């Protein structure tokens, strides 16, 4: 908003901050689902496939692989269908070289129509439904109760992928990615979980204890995915769980500047195991989509201006939740240790004897620099990099900024929370000796879909930003290294059509 950049900044004109209370937030619920993924148990059940179109042989293999006893009815089976029983599925498939009849469907849990002819297909589907089977008709989505997706098989771990028929090749590519991501050893780990489940449940009656055990188990599997688990692993995991402290803890977690793909794996793990997540306004909403579904989420809004929760209230809430045994994630934008008041929160935890850890995040400056493709320390342009705040405790320009350092032509300066004081800050830096023509820019909403950049010389940046009237979190960067970025962009401009640079 243009008014975020007032021409004159004086403490007397600063608005009173209205305190606000931490507020429990609800996840917005599910977006509409194109299809409901469910997994059908067919082991030992009866399945029927009739017809012999191109997809038939593969479907027979799938049904048999899922443990079904498959009766296949085809007057003219393909070579591949004849080959199926001998090749893959030892005795589970019986091929009947004749037409199907309704009596053949009795007791079938699953039925697949594989006819070229629509009428025959519809007739079979009707009979199969009447017999109580779940029905699929190959290449005829309008006749199907269920459809087959692409599969990643680490049984008992199974991943199904659907594009609802919209983009099968896309689905296959997603499948290939997931294949590459899931070590083949997961098969053995998930099988071990199945085998040990009863013993673990008998040992740990409390839900929280059981969950803690299975989290340790999963950590171990992810740490050594290719090693087959053995009985000694179970014993070691039980020993570790029995000695682990039962109390809660706090993790200060960096959410990054917005783009969820910039979350670290550790941050993801923390979000996945949190009981409660206390987050700031600046945390992008899509980050919370990565949280454990059952986690409580609370907005403890702290913005640069506007209503804020008191830091003492946040500290007290964090400590009391952890004391009651919860795993608390204090989720902060960017990196928690950069202008995040993390020091106060860490102290509050330590004073209360609560275990506290920090998971770093990508700070706004790094997100913005990466999005711009600019080196903040280019050796021809900068000897030093400094991050300064544009706000003091009251939201005014800090009196004690090092102005000589800000005027240094060999430094790249990044200003966090610059909005209210940008004009005054740059005017003072220029008065202290920063050349007014020094390259400068503001990045709004760095790494988010609405990222926008305003560039100017340092002496003119405040005017340009005011004229642009943009909204959202913003950081300012000043220094000759940014001039190199403008050059790089000029080169890009020649090399690429305008559309290719959109969003830069
Ligand atoms: N811990 C955060 C900084 C919190 S202070 C970090 O490491 O990035 C809040 C300030 O961060 C905002 O006023 C703004 O200056 C900056 N900021 C946070 N996210 C931003 C984003 N996506 N784009 C631009 N600036 C951002």
- Is 366 close to ligand 1, i.e. is its CB under 6 Å away? no
CA distances from 115 to 73, 83, 399 (A): 11, 19, 81
- Is 446 close to ligand 1, i.e. is its CB under 6 Å away? yes
Q: Which residues pair with 166 in a beta bridge?
A: none
Of 311, 332, 334, 368, the one to substitute when testing ligand 1's pocket (max ligand atoms within 8 A of C-beta) is 334
The residue among 148, 181, 133 whose CA lies nearest residue 66 is 148
The pLDDT value recorded for residue 498 is 41
Could you tell me which residues come within 8 angstroms of residue 32 by beta carbon, excluding any fewer than 6 positions away?
none
* Packing angle, helices 186-203 and 231-243, rounded to 10: 50
Give the chain's residues under pLDDT 70: 1-19, 27-29, 84-91, 243-246, 302-307, 484-504
**Strand 276-279 versus strand 296-299 pairing type:** parallel
Candidates 3.20.20.140, 3.40.50.2300, 3.60.110.10, 3.40.50.720; CATH matching 46-148? 3.40.50.720
- Is 445 close to ligand 1, i.e. is its CB under 6 Å away? yes
Pairwise CA distance, residues 143 & 128, whole Å: 11
The pLDDT value recorded for residue 5 is 40
Helix (H, G, I), strand (E, B) or coil at 315: helix
Q: Which residues are catalytic?
A: 280, 302
* Packing angle, helices 422-431 and 461-468, rounded to 10: 160
The pLDDT value recorded for residue 244 is 56
The pLDDT value recorded for residue 499 is 38
- Say how far residue 233 (Cα) sits from the centre of its chain: 30
- The position carrying tokens 């809004």 is 301
Candidates 3.30.950.10, 3.20.20.70, 3.30.360.10, 2.30.30.280; CATH matching 365-489? 3.30.950.10
Of 330, 416, 442, 451, the one to substitute when testing ligand 1's pocket (max ligand atoms within 8 A of C-beta) is 416
Would you identify the CATH topology of the domain 249-362?
Answer: Cobalt-precorrin-4 Transmethylase; domain 1 (3.40.1010)
Torsion angles phi and psi, residue 392, rounded to 5: -95, -170
The pLDDT value recorded for residue 85 is 53
Mean of the per-residue pLDDT values for the chain? 88
- Is 51 close to ligand 1, i.e. is its CB under 6 Å away? no
The pLDDT value recorded for residue 18 is 61
- Is 422 close to ligand 1, i.e. is its CB under 6 Å away? no
The pLDDT value recorded for residue 273 is 85
Q: How far is the CA of 304 from the centre of ligand 1 (A)?
A: 10
The pLDDT value recorded for residue 503 is 38
Q: Which atom of ligand 1 is nearest to the CA of 443?
A: 24
């Amino acid at each position: 908003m243009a008014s975020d950049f007032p021409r004159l900044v004086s403490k007397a004109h600063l608005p009173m901050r209205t305190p606000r209370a931490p507020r429990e937030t609800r996840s917005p619920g599910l977006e509409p689902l194109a299809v409901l993924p469910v997994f059908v148990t067919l082991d030992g059940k009866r399945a029927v496939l009739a017809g012999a179109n191109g997809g038939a042989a593969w479907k027979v293999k799938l049904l048999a692989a899922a443990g079904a006893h498959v009766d296949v009815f085809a007057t003219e089976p393909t070579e591949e269908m004849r080959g199926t029983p001998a090749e893959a599925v030892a005795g589970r498939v019986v091929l009947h070289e004749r037409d199907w009849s309704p009596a053949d469907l009795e007791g079938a849990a699953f039925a697949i129509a594989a006819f070229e002819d629509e009428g025959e297909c519809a007739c079979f589907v009707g009979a199969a439904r009447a017999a109580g089977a779940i029905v699929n008709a190959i290449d005829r989505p309008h006749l199907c109760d269920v459809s087959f997706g692409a599969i990643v098989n680490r049984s008992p771990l199974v991943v199904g992928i659907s594009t609802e028929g919209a983009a099968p090749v896309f689905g296959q590519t997603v499948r290939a990615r997931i294949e590459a991501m899931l070590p083949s050893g997961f098969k053995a780990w998930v099988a071990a979980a199945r085998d040990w489940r009863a013993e673990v449940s008998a040992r740990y009656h409390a839900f929280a204890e059981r969950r803690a055990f299975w989290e340790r188990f999963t950590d171990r599997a992810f740490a050594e995915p290719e090693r087959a688990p053995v009985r000694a692993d179970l014993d070691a995991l039980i020993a570790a769980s029995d000695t682990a402290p039962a109390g809660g803890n706090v993790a200060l977690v960096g959410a990054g500047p917005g783009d969820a793909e910039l979350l670290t794996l550790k941050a993801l793990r923390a979000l996945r195991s949190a009981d409660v997540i206390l987050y700031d306004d600046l945390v992008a909403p899509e980050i919370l989509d990565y949280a454990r579904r059952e986690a409580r989420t609370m907005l403890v809004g702290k913005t640069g201006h506007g209503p804020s929760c008191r830091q003492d209230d946040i500290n007290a809430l964090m400590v009391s939740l952890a004391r009651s045994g919860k795993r608390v994630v204090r989720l902060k934008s960017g990196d928690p240790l950069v202008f995040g008041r993390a020091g106060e929160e860490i102290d509050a935890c330590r004073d209360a004897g609560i275990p506290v850890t920090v998971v770093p995040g990508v700070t706004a400056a790094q997100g913005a620099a990466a999005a711009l493709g600019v080196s903040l320390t280019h050796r021809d342009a900068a000897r030093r990099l400094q991050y300064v705040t544009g706000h003091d405790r009251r939201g005014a320009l800090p009196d004690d900024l090092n102005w000589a350092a800000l005027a240094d032509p060999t430094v790249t300066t990044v200003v966090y929370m610059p909005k209210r004081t940008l004009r005054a800050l740059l005017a003072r830096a220029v008065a202290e000796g920063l050349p007014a023509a020094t390259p400068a820019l503001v990045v709004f909403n760095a790494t988010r879909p609405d990222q926008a950049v305003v560039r100017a010389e340092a002496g003119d940046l405040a005017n340009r930003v005011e004229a642009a009237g943009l909204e959202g979190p913003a950081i300012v960067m000043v220094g000759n290294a940014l001039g190199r970025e403008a050059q790089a962009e000029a080169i890009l401009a020649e090399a690429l059509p305008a559309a290719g640079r959109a969003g830069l």
